[in-house]
Structure formats: C-alpha cells, structure tokens
Amino acid sequence: MPRSVHQPLLFECAWEVANKVGGIYTVIKTKVPVTVREYGDRCCLIGPLSYKSAPMEVESEEPEPGSAFALTLQAMRDRGVKLIYGRWLIEGAPRVLLFDTGSCYDRMDEWKTDLWNLAGIPSPPNDHETNETIVFGYIVAWFLGEFAARETETAIIAHFHEWQAGLAIPLCRKRHIDVTTIFTTHATLLGRYLCAGSVDFYNNLQYFDVDHEAGKRGIYHRSAAHCADVFTTVSHITAFESEHLLKRKPDGVLPNGLNVVKFAAMHEFQNLHVQAKEKINDFIRGHFYGHYDFDLENTIYMFTAGRYEFRNKGVDMFIESLARLNGRLQKMGSKTTVVAFIIMPAATNSYTIEALKGQAVTAQLRECVSQVTARVGKRIFEHAARYSGEHGTEVPNAEDLLSSEDKILLKRRVFALKRNSLPPVVTHNMADDANDPILNQIRRVQLFNRSQDRVKIIFHPEFLNSNNPILGLDYEEFVRGCHLGVFPSYCEYAITIRR
C-alpha cells in the first residue's frame, strides 16, 4: 500500500545535532524553529551522543508508548544500543534522538566487512573519525529500517548533512528501505583537502584527476551524493565544486543564513546589541586589567569563528590583516581600539591563570564599589533626612562620604589590578603551544596586546557557551555584541549572513 505524502515524517541527521563541533551546529540550530513550525512533532533530529554536552543540551523523555517510534527504540535497546531521546533545549524544542556510537563498537568489524561487500568502500583500521562515521551510519540505517518496517502508512523523509552522517544513504538504498533521502553537502571533503594545499583550487577545478586525488587521501566521496534521491548544496560555488568533484549536479541550492524577519525591528536589534556588547565589555575589563587604558566607547569588536582550519578558514590572512591595520592606526595616531576575537576549538589543558584572575579581580572590584556605593548612598540619605533648615548644610561634604574603611578597601582592590605582564593573547593553556599555527602567526606579526597596539587580539580555543566562566555568552549573543564578523574562507562553506 502506498504511503501518504500529505503529512510526511522528517528525520534530519547530522553529526552536529546537539553536538557543537563545527558551523553546521549553528546551521541546524537556527533553522529548527522554522522546521518545527512546519512539521511540529513529525520532525526528529538524529545525531551522535556526546556525554560531555548532552546533559546541557537535551532534556530526556520517553516516546509515546506503543508507537512505532517507541517500539523501534526498545528493539534497538534490547540489542545493546545506548541512546537518549528527548527535547533539544533550543528555540522550537525539537524532538532529538542521540545514539552512543561506543555501544556498538563490537559490531564495527562486521559492519566494515559489510561496507566493503555492499559498496566496495574500504576503511582504514585505526582512523577514529572513520570508525565513528561507519558505526554512526550503520546505527542510523538500522533505526530507519526498523522504523520504516513498523510505520507503513506515512511517507518518511531522511535528510542528511555532510559525509559524517551520509553513510546511511547508500545503506538505505542497498537495503531497499522505504524512505526518501536528501543529502546536503556544505563543502566537499576532497575540496577541503585540496584547498588546504597550495593549489589554485577554483581556477583549476576542471583539471583535477578527481579519482586519483581522492584515492591518495583515502576519500570515497561520491556514494552519498549519488545514492540520495535529492542532492543539494548551500551555495552556487559549492554546487559548481560538487558538479566537478562529486560528478553530480545538485538538484537545488539551499543557502544558509539568518532569519532576517527575527531582526526586522531595528530598535529591538539595537537594544540586544547594547546588552550583549556590555557583557563583552565586562570580559574586556577583566582580560586587560592593569592595561585597561583604552576607551570602550571608541572600541570596535570583530571576530572570526569556525573549525580550526588555519588556511582554509583564512585565519593566516585574518591575523596578517590585523597586524597591518595595527600599523596603520598607529601611524595615523588613531585613538580607536580594535579588539579581534578568534573563536576556534583546539586541544587545551585548562584556562590560563591570568584569564581567570582577570575576571576574578574585576568582579571583586565591582562588588567592592557596589558595597561602598550603597554605604555612600545611605550616608547621603541620612544627612538629607536630618536637614534642619540651616543654609549651606543641604548637601554633605564630599570628604565625609567615604569613611577611612571604605578608602582602605578601595585601595586594596585597586592595587590588586596591578600587573607586570602583558594581557594574554590566548585564554587557555594550549596542549601544544609551541607548534600551534594561530599562536605562531600571532608571534610572527608581534601582536602582543601592548599598550601602544591599537589592535588587540584574543584567541579563545573553545566554542562559546553561556556556562563559560570567563566569556559567558552563547555564540548568537556574542555575534550580536560584536560590530563585525570576518570570514575569509578559501574553501567557500562559511555561513552566509544576509542583511
């Protein structure tokens, strides 16, 4: 019996679902409200289970008892698959299903053999990323097969983002699972590798021996694109790239972007900018304590963010341009200060002591000033309340407002702001500081946050979230507070911001 297409079920699968490891996390998160408005609870997102982030991202719940969904999950649990089902704690509160890939590693050799026999795709033995992708793909295909066998009346759409989620597509095709598949590539994997080398990628795109280049790197890149019922990309240049490298012309281009209707009221957007900027100001006061000698009202905040791909993301060019801007501003005698943030996750050990100390001493100073202000206010009130009518006594003497204890307390807090070192250019202790490309580029151009530098730089090697002890802002809020985002990506797969 044919399935009804009037109220289809949608499963959207990506490695970044409730798992902040790249820009696709933001893509998925910001499109969810529109998707939920269209599909409601007929939409469910599927991703890998990260025990580090899931407790903060997902509120667990149980599916409706006796439903095809509940029976499918129970059948998989009975076979040893660990998973979490619930609501993703973002706008729209979509249903989300996260699979623990580690619970199925005992099946990995079997699945690798099946992948070779089924699709002729080999897999290296000790590549963790490949192993995770294979196990995740097989679990998702398992789920879709089980669910489609139980839910036989309604059409099922399965939308996959990027190669890490796309392995399930050829499996669904080979197993004749009755689902309609969509594959969206945000950039071809081979394109990323080629761009990372010193090649004129886009001008020579048609001349690459694609199979040879992919084979050298162990990339088997066409399967998901060719087996999907619908193939899409996120930009026209990526569509051009896909046509040459994947040998399939995309059926459509679905640009990433911001929901501009959400920011239609300009006064509301300006209010949000002011609020978010003040939070960044608080961080800057702490980070630059002892060297906080510039005017925040005459300061520009800019940033770049994304995966740590030093050349592909254009970080080398970004830092070089900051150094040249610093030289120009110094030569002009400008009083404007530019603070540039680099938000890219890297291997770290902990926050630096200086970064934590800066926020602590400024927080103590703020608390001290609040206490002194409250006492001064009380003294002014008491003086005014006792006014006897004598001319000249309406206002208390300024020297009487601060007690000796208040002065001592303030001096202690101010002296704590003294610093003998420059403000750090990085907020964390890097796992490999000496060989980090971003830090080495900063050292090369000598942007060390000196007082005479008009351009200050802060490398934050961790994605932002509101639980961060030094820069407690979500990415969207941080973007609102900044003045300019710079994305000089060589391989074009950054989020397009539409205004």
Interval 4-29: pLDDT, tens: 888 999 999 999 999 988 778 888 98
Give CA angle at 283 (447, 468), nearest 5°: 105
Which residue matches tokens 């791909």? 309
Same domain, 246 and 310: no
Closest residue by Cα to residue 186 from 241, 137, 227, 258: 241
Residue 312 pLDDT level (bands cut at 50, 70, 90): confident
Phi/psi for 86 (5° steps) reads 175, -145
Continuous H helices in 151-248: 162-166, 168-174, 189-196, 210-216, 223-227, 236-245
Which pLDDT score, from 0 to 100, does residue 498 have? 31
pLDDT tens figures, 275-291: 999 999 999 999 998 88
Whether 390 is covered by a domain: the verdict is no
Q: Report yes or no on 216 lying in a domain.
A: yes
- CA atoms of 285 and 297, how far apart (whole Å): 13
Q: Mean pLDDT score of the chain, rounded to an integer?
A: 87
**What distance in Å separates the CA atoms of residue 405 and residue 379, rounded to the nearest whole number?**
14
Of 408, 407, 441, nearest to 425 by C-alpha is 441
The DSSP secondary structure of 78-114, one letter per residue, reads: HTT--EEEEEESSTT--EEEEE-GGGGGGGHHHHHHH
- Please determine, for residue 147, whether its predicted confidence score (pLDDT) is greater than 50: yes
- The answer on pLDDT for 307 being more than 70 is yes
Q: Please check whether residues 39 and 174 belong to one and the same domain.
A: yes
Judgement on whether residues 167 and 65 belong to the same structural domain of the protein: yes
- Asked if residue 490 belongs to a domain, the reply is no
Find the mean pLDDT for residues 224-243. 88
How far apart CA 486 and CA 298 sit, in angstroms, is: 20
Residues 209 and 336 placed together within one structural domain of the fold: no
Residues 386, 393: Cα–Cα separation, whole Å: 10
Find the domain containing 362 and state its range: 355-384+395-417
pLDDT value for 440: 97
Question: What is the band of 200 on the pLDDT scale with cuts at 50, 70, 90?
Answer: low
Check pLDDT > 50 for residue 497. no
Among 175-189, 201-215, 352-366, the range scoring the smallest mean pLDDT is 201-215
Q: How confident is the model at residue 292 (pLDDT cuts 50, 70, 90)?
A: confident
Q: How many Cα atoms occupy the beta-carbon half-sphere of 447 within 13 Å?
A: 28
Residue 148: is its pLDDT beyond 70? yes
Cα 52 to Cα 46: distance, rounded to the nearest angstrom: 17
For residue 147, being part of any structural domain is answered with yes
Task: Give a yes or no: residue 493 inside a domain.
Answer: no
- Residue 320 and residue 231 share a domain: no
Looking at the domain assignment, is residue 224 inside a domain?
A: yes
Q: Are residues 124 and 246 in the same domain?
A: yes
Residue-wise pLDDT for 72-102, tens only, equals 999 999 999 999 999 999 989 999 999 999 9
Question: Looking at the structure, do residues 74 and 119 belong to the same domain, yes or no?
Answer: yes
**What residue type is 347 in one-letter code?**
A
Do 63 and 181 belong together in one domain? yes
Q: Is 135 left (phi over 0), alpha (psi -120 to 50) or beta?
A: alpha
Could you tell me if residue 492 is inside a domain? Answer: no
Domain co-membership, 225 together with 122 = yes
Nearest residue to 48 via CA among 81, 76, 71: 81
Mean pLDDT of 433-445: 96
The residue type at 217: R
Higher pLDDT, 390 or 178: 178
Q: Are strands 230-233 and 95-99 parallel, antiparallel or unpaired?
A: unpaired
How many domains are there within the chain?
3
For residue 432, the domain's CATH number is 3.40.50.2000
Mean pLDDT of 108-126: 87
Domain final position from 227, 253, 279: 253
Asked if residue 261 belongs to a domain, the reply is no
* One domain for residues 92 and 192: yes
Buried-state track 229-268, b at ≥16 Cβ within 10 A, e below 16: eebbbbbebbbbbbebbbeeebeeeeebebeeeeeeeeee
Distance, C-alpha 98 to centroid of its chain: 18
Same domain membership, residue 276 and residue 227? no
Residue 35 and residue 101 in one domain = yes
Write down the pLDDT at residue 370. Answer: 92
Taking residues 36-60, report their average pLDDT. Answer: 93
Burial class (CB within 10 angstroms; exposed 0-12, middle 13-18, buried 19+) of 18: buried
Q: Residue 36: in which H helix or E strand, if any? A: helix 23-39
Q: What integer is the mean pLDDT of 241-262? A: 77
